[in-house]
């Protein structure tokens, strides 16, 4: 099974930190955000990793290389300046991801989630990892009932940015920029999205303040 790290975002909310450094290479706890995921995926038994990039993407390739020092193989999926959004980025990388289900994780989160939990065939088109709602996203995203994720209902949880997907979810989409959420909601209407609740540690480091919060958490 392959995994993909989404690392193409411009990081507008992180400026000026991201003017000269791509967001995935910003550091917390003395380590680049993306490196936590590479190490965790390798520890979970993944040996093939795809990473997309756009803004200053060459820095990401130079930093991670071919993945040999992490014990896995990394290939890159470059995108045009401005990137292809979450859904479009995954769709663009399908030739590298193959025909089997694959794991995707956002580069700008930190978590203690055990990625080995996702090494299975999802019953539907997608399997999402949901977390408790953080203060900056108190309304949540989706509801989880008996292992099925829906777009309606209470209580609502937040999508962690970690998912297991079948390529069929994206195959009919154009190779262009588009968001992931509408695809997921369409699949939910057909009962084709399963999920689980991760009650462990998770933080979206998408702003300078939350990046500092993560740094404090990891260094104390």
Tokens of 124: 């539907």
Domain residues for the domain of 89 are 2-219
How confident is the model at residue 82, as a pLDDT? 82
Number of domains in the chain: 1
Contacts of 8 (CB under 8 A, 6+ apart): 52, 53, 54, 55, 57, 79, 83, 84, 89
How confident is the model at residue 149, as a pLDDT? 98
Calculate ∠ Cα 27-30-36, nearest 5°. 70
193-197 and 126-131 beta bridge pairing: parallel
Residues of the chain whose pLDDT is less than 50? none
How confident is the model at residue 190, as a pLDDT? 95
CATH value at residue 208? 3.90.550.10
Residue 65, H or E segment: none
Tokens of 46: 């993944």
How confident is the model at residue 15, as a pLDDT? 86
- CA distances in angstroms from 191 to 54, 81, 118, 124, 195, listed in the order given: 34, 35, 19, 8, 11
């Amino acid at each position: 099974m392959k995994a993909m790290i989404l690392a193409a975002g411009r990081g507008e909310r992180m400026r000026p930190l991201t003017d000269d450094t791509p967001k995935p290479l910003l550091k917390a706890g003395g380590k680049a955000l993306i490196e936590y995921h590479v190490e965790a995926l390798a520890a979970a038994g993944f040996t093939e990793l795809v990473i997309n990039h756009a803004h200053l993407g060459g820095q990401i390739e130079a930093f991670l290389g071919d993945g040999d020092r992490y014990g896995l193989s990394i290939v890159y999926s470059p995108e045009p300046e401005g990137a292809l959004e979450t859904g479009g980025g995954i769709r663009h990388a399908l030739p590298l991801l193959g025909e089997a289900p694959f794991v995707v994780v956002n580069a700008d989160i930190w978590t203690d989630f055990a990625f080995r939990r996702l090494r299975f065939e999802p019953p539907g088109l997608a399997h999402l990892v949901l977390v408790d709602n953080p203060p900056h996203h108190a309304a949540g995203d989706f509801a989880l009932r008996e292992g099925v994720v829906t777009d309606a209902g209470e209580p609502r949880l937040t999508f962690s940015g970690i998912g297991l997907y079948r390529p069929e979810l994206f195959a009919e989409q154009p190779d262009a920029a588009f968001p992931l959420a509408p695809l997921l909601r369409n699949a939910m209407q057909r009962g084709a999205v399963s999920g689980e609740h991760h009650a462990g540690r998770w933080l979206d480091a998408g702003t300078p303040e939350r990046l500092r919060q993560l740094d404090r958490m990891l260094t104390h």
